[in-house]
């Protein structure tokens, strides 16, 4: 029964992307209130992460990996906000529709959607993420770190 029910569902795989097209999730028609709340979250800091759990206690491997990537990049904590989508089902579903991206975590930089864990991993590996974050001015100042540790 399971296979018959989902036999027509197309799956996305980066390795097979030329063979199996990505099908975005169906529009749920985001409510005005939820859209405004998400816009407020996205505007709350230069770097905003929607994740499962918190930066101190991620609740999934992808959220944990994303936090590790951002920590490694040296994001200024004063320019960072994280939202736990597990606390609010409307936020969890709404952010996917808002960004038109089917997975969580999701990173926004200066109100612009950057991507999920897979995109951030690739960007971190090829140096694009460090460049993007540096240009946005959201990294910790090395001089401030040295002064703070004295």
Beta bridge partners of 112: 109
CB 123 within 8 A of CB 73: no
Contacts of residue 99, defined as CB under 8 A and 6 or more positions apart, other chains included, come to 106, 113
pLDDT over threshold 60, residue 110:
yes
Entry pTM: 0.77
Mean pLDDT, residues 36-41 taken together: 95
pLDDT over 70 percentage in the chain: 75
The domain segmentation of the chain, as residue ranges, is: 38-138
CB 46 within 8 A of CB 110: yes
Q: Domain spanning 38-138 has what CATH number?
A: 3.40.30.10
Mean pLDDT, residues 75-97 taken together: 95
């Amino acid at each position: 029964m399971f296979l018959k029910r989902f036999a027509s569902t197309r799956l996305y795989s980066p390795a097979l992307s030329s063979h199996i097209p990505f099908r975005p999730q169906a529009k749920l028609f985001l409510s005005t209130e939820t859209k405004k709340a998400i816009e407020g979250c996205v505007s709350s800091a230069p770097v905003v992460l929607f994740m499962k759990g918190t930066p101190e206690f991620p609740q999934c491997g992808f959220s944990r990996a994303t936090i590790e990537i951002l920590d490694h990049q040296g994001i200024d904590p004063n320019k960072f906000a994280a939202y736990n989508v597990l606390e609010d089902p409307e936020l969890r579903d709404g952010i996917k529709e808002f960004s038109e991206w089917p997975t969580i975590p999701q990173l926004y930089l200066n109100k612009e959607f950057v991507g999920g864990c897979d995109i951030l991993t690739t960007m971190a590996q090829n140096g694009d993420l460090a460049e993007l974050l540096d240009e946005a001015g959201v990294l910790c100042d090395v001089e401030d770190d040295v002064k703070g540790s004295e």
